[in-house]
């Protein structure tokens, strides 16, 4: 049937009944987009490599069968936009990965590299990822399911080498980085000097114990330069454009070094201070080994654009800092099991508050002044076992409440 549409440019397939594409797709030489992400198609036919005009292939699943290897991407030189490559455990080695020629695909903006959790055989993730160097124009990079202990050098440096293996070129156009489910990884790449990085997600990195100076991309927070007046120190701005920072499920993270050579068992105060003015979202979740949250909370008044704050699974954090009251733009607060009490009297602009599993919370104060939280639209209370009362809720006529598994409150 496909051969009836030889001039077809766009092919978007949907439906769970679709499990494979006919090999005749290779004759649709005018195709520019093929999207199978909403189907059960696991492998593309070996003829996919003949579609030299193809510009968009959002989803590619590597297979062992002839013609379904990662090498098929090599001839698709015009790909642009987003490309997700799944089942990378089926790639043989670095040389096999290099045949995808990702470095030559300068119009790809977003790349996702994914390994299956249900894998068998030897782990060669480090070797394979080494061969997947993208073009330096890349704007978004996601790595999911990587099981190596160490990222390859190009990831750690956030720079790629040209095809001749010579000069290093920084990935300076990156705006988003997601490292998820890399459970064996022990070191985080150099991210602090990426000039346009806006969104950083580190999730489920269970073996990472420390983020030291290499994480910032500099050995020191300032550099020395010579002048006629002697040696001067030039301040370096770390994470200059960062707007969103999410750290979750990193239970063994105990050391977050400053950008100097000193190391602390604390949050990244210098990093957060550097990006405080632009930060819009701050999520600190599942960091059960970290201490000294007070230092980062002192920076909250500088976060004038912060609208979303999430704190959870932090046993040593048992009360909200007064500094939260200075966050005039804060509209959404999400607190997971870590509070004894909470007073929202200082937050006039809240739109949404979620308290989930805060088992020790006994009281929630919604006002303490002559005015009420008139802007608050939604209050969600889930599994707050000891919560008995809500102050002044009855005066807030437009407030929507969602109460689940709060036995003392529901009585």
Per-residue confidence band for 166, with pLDDT thresholds at 50, 70 and 90:
confident
DSSP-derived secondary structure for 224-277: EEEETTEEEEEE--SSTT--EEEEES-TT--EE--SSS---SS--HHHHHHHTT
% of the chain at pLDDT higher than 90:
25
Region of poorest pLDDT, from 86-100, 280-294, 362-376 = 362-376
% of the chain at pLDDT higher than 70:
65
User: Cα–Cα distance between 190 and 132 in angstroms, integer?
Assistant: 18
Per-residue confidence band for 232, with pLDDT thresholds at 50, 70 and 90:
very low
Q: Is 148 or 187 the better-scoring residue by pLDDT? A: 148
Q: What is the mean pLDDT of residues 345-364?
A: 58
pLDDT confidence of residue 18: 76
| Whether pLDDT at 67 is above 70 | no
pLDDT tens for each residue of 237-248: 677 788 888 877
pLDDT confidence of residue 270: 55
Per-residue confidence band for 406, with pLDDT thresholds at 50, 70 and 90:
confident
pLDDT confidence of residue 2: 65
Burial label, 28 (beta-carbon count in 10 A; 0-12, 13-18, 19+): buried
Q: What is the mean pLDDT of residues 5-10?
A: 79
Region of poorest pLDDT, from 50-64, 168-182, 265-279 = 265-279
DSSP-derived secondary structure for 301-326: GG-TT--EEEEES-TT--S--GGGGG
pLDDT confidence of residue 7: 75
pTM: 0.70
Q: What is the mean pLDDT of residues 63-91?
A: 89
Q: Is 403 or 106 the better-scoring residue by pLDDT? A: 106
pLDDT confidence of residue 15: 81
User: Cα–Cα distance between 97 and 69 in angstroms, integer?
Assistant: 9
Tell me the CB-side half-sphere exposure of residue 405, using CA atoms within 13 A: 8
| Whether pLDDT at 397 is above 70 | no
pLDDT confidence of residue 365: 57
Average pLDDT, the chain: 75
Q: What is the mean pLDDT of residues 162-187?
A: 89
| Whether pLDDT at 11 is above 90 | no
Q: What is the mean pLDDT of residues 370-386?
A: 65
pLDDT tens for each residue of 98-143: 999 999 999 999 999 999 988 876 689 999 999 999 999 999 999 9
pLDDT confidence of residue 95: 95
Region of poorest pLDDT, from 58-67, 326-335, 345-354, 387-396 = 345-354
Decide the pairing of beta strands 244-248 and 281-285.
parallel
SS3 for 77?
coil
pLDDT confidence of residue 289: 60
Most confident region among 39-43, 143-147, 204-208, 397-401 by mean pLDDT: 143-147
User: Cα–Cα distance between 184 and 182 in angstroms, integer?
Assistant: 6
DSSP 182: -
SS3 for 112?
strand
With tokens 């055989």, the residue in question is 121
User: Cα–Cα distance between 343 and 366 in angstroms, integer?
Assistant: 6
pLDDT confidence of residue 411: 54
Helix (H) or strand (E) holding 200: strand 199-203
Region of poorest pLDDT, from 24-38, 186-200, 264-278, 305-319 = 264-278
DSSP-derived secondary structure for 34-67: EEEEEE------GGGGG-TT--B--EEE--SSTT
With tokens 């210098």, the residue in question is 270
Q: Is 42 or 90 the better-scoring residue by pLDDT? A: 90
Per-residue confidence band for 226, with pLDDT thresholds at 50, 70 and 90:
very low
Per-residue confidence band for 70, with pLDDT thresholds at 50, 70 and 90:
very high
pLDDT confidence of residue 38: 81
Q: What is the mean pLDDT of residues 182-186?
A: 91
Domains of the chain in sequence order: 1-185 (3.80.10.10), 341-411 (no CATH)
pLDDT confidence of residue 68: 77
pLDDT confidence of residue 369: 38
């Amino acid at each position: 049937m496909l051969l009836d549409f030889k001039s077809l440019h766009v092919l978007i397939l949907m439906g769970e009944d679709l499990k494979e594409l006919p090999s005749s797709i290779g004759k649709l030489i005018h195709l520019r987009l093929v999207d199978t992400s909403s189907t059960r198609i696991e492998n593309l036919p070996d003829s996919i490599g003949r579609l030299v005009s193809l510009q968009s292939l959002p989803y590619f699943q590597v297979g062992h069968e002839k013609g379904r290897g990662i090498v098929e991407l090599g001839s698709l030189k015009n790909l642009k936009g987003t490309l997700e490559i799944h089942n990378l455990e089926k790639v043989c080695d670095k040389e096999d990965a290099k045949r995808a020629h990702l470095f030559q695909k300068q119009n790809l903006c977003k790349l996702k590299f994914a390994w299956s959790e249900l894998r068998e055989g030897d782990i060669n993730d480090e070797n394979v990822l080494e061969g997947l160097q993208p073009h330096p124009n890349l704007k978004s990079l996601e790595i999911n399911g990587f099981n190596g202990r160490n990222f390859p050098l190009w990831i750690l440096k956030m720079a790629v080498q040209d095809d001749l293996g010579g000069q290093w070129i920084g990935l300076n156009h990156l705006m988003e980085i997601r490292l998820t489910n890399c459970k064996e990884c022990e070191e985080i790449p150099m991210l602090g000097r990426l000039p346009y990085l806006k969104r950083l997600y580190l999730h489920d990195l269970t073996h990472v114990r420390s983020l030291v100076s290499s994480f910032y991309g500099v050995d020191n927070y300032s550099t020395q330069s010579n002048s006629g007046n002697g040696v001067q120190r030039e301040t370096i701005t770390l994470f200059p454009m960062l707007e969103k920072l999410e750290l979750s499920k990193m239970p063994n993270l105990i050391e977050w070094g400053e950008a100097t050579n000193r190391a602390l068992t604390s949050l990244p105060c210098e990093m957060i201070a550097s990006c405080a003015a632009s930060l819009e979202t701050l999520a600190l979740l599942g960091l059960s080994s970290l201490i000294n949250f007070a230092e980062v909370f002192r920076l909250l008044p500088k976060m004038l654009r912060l609208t979303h704050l999430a704190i959870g699974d932090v046993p040593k954090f048992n009360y909200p800092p007064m500094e939260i009251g200075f966050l005039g733009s804060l509209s959404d607060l999400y607190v997971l099991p870590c509070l004894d009490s909470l007073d929202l009297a200082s937050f006039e602009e809240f739109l949404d508050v979620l308290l989930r599993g805060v088992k020790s919370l006994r009281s929630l104060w919604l006002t303490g002044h002559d005015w009420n939280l008139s802007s608050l639209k939604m209050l969600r209370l889930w599994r707050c076992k000891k919560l008995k009362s809500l102050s002044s809720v009855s005066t807030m006529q437009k407030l929507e409440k969602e109460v689940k598994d709060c036995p003392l409150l529901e009585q």
